[in-house]
């Protein structure tokens, strides 16, 4: 398992998202999204195959969002520790690059909550409520 601070290619990113059950992305959208990353970390096998990735998006000063902590399904539930490795690198980056008053958020599916809580993230409710809007959804 090799950890590197890199952005995967748009094709690799789109493929990993698809394997993880997220909405498909066109290559141009995948490239634009990756280019908007403040930080990106990847885990690859000995053949350079992408096994997992994570990234941070935001303005780099006030707001940071942990995004796309993704692991290839073939590596899930096998004790590989890839999710923990990705999150350790992300948290290390945040510890070094945020300041007092910076807000760090993560939006998680239900199974991911435990992972993020193990790294110090707390559910926001009832102090705050999160909302989302699907793109191209009528107002």
Q: Which helix (H) or strand (E) holds 93?
A: helix 82-97
Beta strands in 1-139, from DSSP E residues, in sequence order: 2-4, 37-44, 50-58, 63-71, 103-106
Per the confidence metrics, is the pTM higher than 0.85?
Answer: yes
Query: Which residue ranges in the chain fall short of pLDDT 50?
Result: 139
The per-residue pLDDT for range 13-52, each reduced to its tens digit, is 999 999 988 888 999 999 999 999 999 999 999 999 999 9
DSSP code, position 62 = S
Q: Domains in the chain, start-ordered, CATH in brackets? A: 2-117 (3.40.630.30)
How far apart CA 38 and CA 124 sit, in angstroms, is 23
Q: What are 137's two structure tokens?
A: 């959804």
Sign of CA dihedral 8, 9, 15, 18: positive
């Amino acid at each position: 398992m090799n950890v590197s601070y890199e952005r995967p290619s748009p094709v690799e990113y789109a493929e990993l998202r698809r394997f993880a059950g997220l909405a498909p992305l066109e290559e141009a959208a995948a490239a634009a999204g990756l280019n908007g990353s403040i930080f990106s970390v990847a885990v690859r096998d000995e053949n350079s195959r992408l096994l997992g990735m994570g990234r941070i998006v935001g303005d780099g000063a006030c707001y940071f969002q942990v995004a796309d902590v993704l692991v290839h399904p073939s590596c899930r539930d096998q004790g590989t520790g890839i999710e923990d490795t990705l999150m350790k690198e992300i948290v290390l980056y945040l510890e070094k690059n945020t300041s007092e008053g910076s807000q760090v958020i993560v939006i998680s599916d239900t199974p991911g909550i435990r992972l993020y809580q193990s790294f110090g993230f707390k559910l926001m409710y009832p102090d705050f409520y999160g909302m989302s809007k699907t793109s191209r959804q009528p107002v």
